Amino acid sequence: PVSGIRFNLTSLQTRGTIAKALKRNYLDTSATWIDWDILISDVCLRVLKLYRNGTSAEEIWPSETVILPQFLIKPILPLHQPAIIFGDGGAGKGHIAIMLSILAQLPYVDNPLGLIASDQSTNVLYLDYESDRDEFERTLSGLCKGMGQSVGIKRLQMAHKLSGAIEQIKKRVVEDSIGLLVVDSLAPASGGNIAEAEPAIELYTALRTLPSVTTLIIAHNSKDLEKRKSVYGSVFFTNLARSVWEVKKSQEEGSTEMLISMSHRKANRKLELPIGLSFQFNEEENIISISKTNLAGTSLSNQLPNSVRVLELLREGPRAAQSIAEILDITVAVATTTLNRLKDKGNITHLPDKTWGLQARR
């Protein structure tokens, strides 16, 4: 009789209003013995007590059988944890999100992208704040054609912030056994002023109520032009995520190929090496082909660690530190530091003519 309403459990006036509505609308008019005022107050107090008490504390001891970090899709999506991919508008974040959804839903274990998918199919729910059904279907169809696969992805058109719709989302997660939740994108899903901490805390608090779900959040770049790019909004969006990846693209005007780098910007344990992907677009037949690509020698090679770039360059032959610095567009000091570190690891050697070369294999 009063379903679908929200009210403040601590408000005495609201409790009284609800009790009156139940007295007036309860289907069994003969049930005059029910004291709705006492019943509603009791329910509110019990719910508040449970909420404030939280879960029981556990005593945890060191163990020889600890569970190592697991992934839904390695190395991008840590299992049952929130991850973020961020970048400029049009950098291919949506394509990556749908690609990962396909890998998880199938699952595509033997994919040629260098990504390790779970061997169990994981149901995906895509919360779409940005595109419409047609655009989503077009991208999904193109990627499936390019992969030679076919799979359906559940999509929910969103208009309200995630925390306000969490009960609806939770219902779908339980009913459809959802294991991967994609949030596209962070700003509308959070609502409010995302430069403040509260929207971030509210978003992650809502996500933590979902049982055993891995979350992928798509976000935009910060506006700072001087420093390294970061997730736009409060630092808490980054701090509360378990893994954060920056996406950059390179695409010449008129070209049907889009090169993408995914650089690991935050991890609890170790940062992974950048991932290179190539997207080929066939607009006439709506085919999007994806392949793994080596970023060395491309316009995105500067996303690779300097050690990797130096080793790739030395595979072409010995070079002096000055030459390496000029080619890689780094300072001589940075080049020298990188070279010495690689020498200490036994990867390279300093030759008699003052150049550097790869260490001969023994």
What domains, with CATH codes, occur in the chain? Answer: 12-53 (no CATH), 71-292 (3.40.50.300), 305-358 (1.10.10.10)
Q: Among positive and negative, which fits the CA dihedral 216, 217, 218, 224? A: negative
Q: Which residues are paired to 244 by β-bridges?
A: 84, 266
Note the pLDDT of residue 2.
53
Q: CA 71, CA 80: separation in Å to the nearest integer?
A: 8
Largest CA distance in the chain: 102
* Rg, Å, the chain Cα set: 26
Q: CA 78, CA 267: separation in Å to the nearest integer?
A: 10
pLDDT band, residue 222 (cuts 50/70/90): confident
What percentage of the chain reaches a pLDDT higher than 70? Answer: 93
Asked if residues 304 and 295 have their Cβ atoms less than 8 Å apart, the reply is yes
Instruction: Answer whether residue 212 shows pLDDT above 80.
Output: yes
* Residue 2 or residue 28, greater confidence: 28
Which residue type does 336 have? Answer: T
Note the pLDDT of residue 4.
56
Query: In this predicted model, what pLDDT tens digit does every residue of 315-359 receive, in sequence order?
Result: 989 999 999 999 998 999 999 999 999 999 989 999 999 899 998
Prior bond of 230 cis (ω within 30°) = no
For the record, the structure tokens of 18 come out as: 């609800």
Instruction: Answer whether residue 52 shows pLDDT above 80.
Output: no
- How far apart, in Å, are the Cα atoms of 45 and each of 2, 33, 50, 179? 19, 21, 9, 33
Q: CA 225, CA 48: separation in Å to the nearest integer?
A: 46
Note the pLDDT of residue 97.
99
Note the pLDDT of residue 5.
64
Q: CA 290, CA 277: separation in Å to the nearest integer?
A: 7
Q: CA 129, CA 263: separation in Å to the nearest integer?
A: 25
CB atoms near residue 142 (< 10 Å)? 21
Note the pLDDT of residue 226.
60
Note the pLDDT of residue 286.
98
Alpha-helical runs (H) found in the chain: 12-25, 36-53, 93-105, 133-147, 166-175, 186-190, 197-207, 235-239, 306-314, 321-328, 332-344
For the record, the structure tokens of 52 come out as: 């404030």
pLDDT band, residue 66 (cuts 50/70/90): confident
Q: Which residues have C-beta within 8 Å of that of residue 125, sequence separation ≥ 6?
A: 154, 155, 156, 169, 172, 173, 176, 178, 180, 181, 182
Q: Which residues are paired to 349 by β-bridges?
A: 357
Range name among 12-16, 94-98, 216-220 with the lowest pLDDT average = 12-16
pLDDT band, residue 153 (cuts 50/70/90): very high
pLDDT band, residue 31 (cuts 50/70/90): low
Asked if residues 75 and 272 have their Cβ atoms less than 8 Å apart, the reply is yes
Q: CA 218, CA 181: separation in Å to the nearest integer?
A: 11
Asked if residues 233 and 192 have their Cβ atoms less than 8 Å apart, the reply is no
Note the pLDDT of residue 268.
87
Q: In the 8-state DSSP scheme, what is residue 353? A: T
- How far apart, in Å, are the Cα atoms of 124 and each of 74, 111, 151, 214? 17, 18, 11, 10
- Is the pTM of the predicted complex or chain greater than 0.85? no
Note the pLDDT of residue 161.
97
Mean pLDDT over residues 281-308, rounded?
A: 94
User: What average pLDDT does the structure give for the chain?
Assistant: 91
